[in-house]
Structure 1
Amino acid sequence: MSRPRSLPRARDARDHSGLSARKRLSQNFLADAGTARLLVRASGIGSRDLVLEIGPGAGMLTRQLAGAAGRVLAYEIDPHYAALLRKRYAADDRVRCFQADFRSVTAPREPFAVVANIPYASTTDIVRWCLAARHLTSATLLTQLEFARKHSGGYGRWSKLAITHWPSTEFAMGPRVDRTCFRPVPRVDSAVLHLRNRPRPLLAPGALREYRRLVELGFSGVGGSLAASLATAFPSRRVRAACRIAGVPTDEPVGTIDPERWIALHRILS
């Protein structure tokens, strides 16, 4: 794997707006060892696995990963904590620490997992990075509770991001984590969000591209329902028949349609 590109050094002192570096970088460090162990257990990683950690901070989770994984690559944007971890693991060849914004890192060219308590402000960018990584096997991410629920159908609704990638990646919510397990204490609780890449996607590559175009059309918002949006590209009679077979009421909002019915619609309409 190529070494991450150098980034401008972040300042440890307060910036011109008076905000601390920790606040600017959206840092709420994990302060509970039990939660760190829970996250590692939930990830399912083993002694032969390569694991990438995002935003390790003072290293609460890094310590648990070092005892469970074969190799750990930790990426910390804050130069103070990056230097701290490099010093701590200088004699341990299994753990390497870099000062970098994880979003700029090139993904490994071998199977790997991501396990991390990720910065709230960068959550969507990091999830998209994981989804684009060809050799990712799984990502176990500690996110805001609302984010984990939103992208795993927890509210009875599904996000466009989850629906788009569902044929190749499963989204699932794991344990809830109380906000008091972090320092500083955030305003909201967190939860584990699992991304698991399927060994065999539910659709072939060509069909997957067609499926994603269908999802893009369905979420276009035309007409107030999925059926109305689809009818802009397919004959209305065909859309009504497909919705009936897939169990999708023609007036159902797009966000409440689960992944299985999306795949059924694609197969019928294609």
Structure 2
Amino acid sequence: MAKDHSHRNYSHTQKKARNGGGGRTPQDRARREFSQNFLVDRHAVEAVVKAAEPEGLVLEPGSGEGVLTLALAEAGAQVVGYEIDPRLAGRLASRTRGNPRIDVVRGDFTAARVPREPFAVVGNIPYSITSKIVDWCLRAHGLTAATLLTQREYARKRSGDYGRWSLVTVESWPWFDWRLGDTVGRESFRPVPSVDSAILRIERRARPLVQDRRSYQELVELGFGGVGGSVRASLRQRYDGVDAALAAAGVARDTVVGHVHPDQWVTLWGRLCG
């Protein structure tokens, strides 16, 4: 039976419902309330499972109708699926009651307790709270990897595919590798969203690239502060030897912060803080 936990609005989403009464049927109203877009393409499901290489304990945000849940279990994972829609959670729990590899939890994944044992996260996650789910993953000490089907633009930004790097990626880089996977077209979902999705893989490194998290994050946050229009101008507010550190990292003196590769930040930390 599905466990009952407190929850908020989430599923694979584009936008939150504007009112609770839209839709002609209970299913339509649920899709509006929980902003659901279900993955219906078998090839897309296979691509996610292949990217995840699931084994051991896997938490799945937004199990929905259970297509990915069942595929992960069939691949050998022990799956705990979180589903906020009580109708879908109850249906999936009934459907999988005899499957020892699947446990369905009715509730908000972002409020879930972090397991004591190592685990992975795999899911077709909502656009509207993607950042909350990613933040939860990055804070979870036992997480080995997160394989997330997100809005393609989000995945490209976080993996540096535009040639620019975001603060969240740079800050977490010494501990996590971010990679862009296959594109999953909008036609792979029902209802069909307005944009394509992509697989984003966030994998914990076996060994951190820096030894002091606090000093590294202080360096990065100062660099992203935007003072003077370049990373050099920002870092010179607090650190000595910035020009030599930039040269060692291969960063031009007029480089804007978004164009500094995360590996270059690691070199800057080693020169300025290590």
The worse-fitting range, judged by mean Cα deviation, of 14-23 and 177-186 is 14-23
Return the offset for 1:9: 9.7
Residues 250 and 106 of structure 1: CA distance in aligned 2, closer, same or farther (over 3 Å): same
Match of 1:45 among 33, 46, 54: 54
Does the alignment pair 1:179 with 2:166?
A: no
Unaligned runs of 5+ in 1: none
Does the alignment pair 1:244 with 2:247?
A: yes
TM-score (norm 1): 0.91
- Corresponding position of 1:6: 6
Listed as ranges, the matches of 1:120-131 within 5 Å are 120-131=127-138
SS in 2 for 1:120: coil
C-alpha distance in 2 between matches for 1:256 and 1:26: 35
- Corresponding position of 1:233: 238
Return the offset for 1:40: 0.6
Residues 156 and 9 of structure 1: CA distance in aligned 2, closer, same or farther (over 3 Å): closer
C-alpha distance in 2 between matches for 1:175 and 1:6: 34
C-alpha distance in 2 between matches for 1:215 and 1:16: 42
C-alpha distance in 1 between matches for 2:186 and 2:151: 9
TM-score (norm 2): 0.90
C-alpha distance in 2 between matches for 1:222 and 1:14: 39
C-alpha distance in 1 between matches for 2:231 and 2:239: 12
Contact 1:14 1:21 in 2 (8 A): no
Residues 4 and 137 of structure 1: CA distance in aligned 2, closer, same or farther (over 3 Å): farther
- Report the AA paired with residue 70 of structure 1: A
Corresponding pairs, count: 260
- Corresponding position of 1:83: 90
Match of 2:266 among 250, 263, 267: 263
Return the offset for 1:81: 0.6
- Corresponding position of 1:147: 154
Residues 14 and 162 of structure 1: CA distance in aligned 2, closer, same or farther (over 3 Å): closer
- Report the AA paired with residue 205 of structure 2: R
- Corresponding position of 2:42: 33
- Corresponding position of 1:195: 202
Match of 2:32 among 23, 30, 34: 23
Task: Give the ranges of 4+ consecutive aligned residues of structure 1 lying more than 4 Å apart after TM superposition.
Answer: none
- Corresponding position of 2:13: none
C-alpha distance in 2 between matches for 1:15 and 1:217: 41
Contact 1:51 1:71 in 2 (8 A): yes
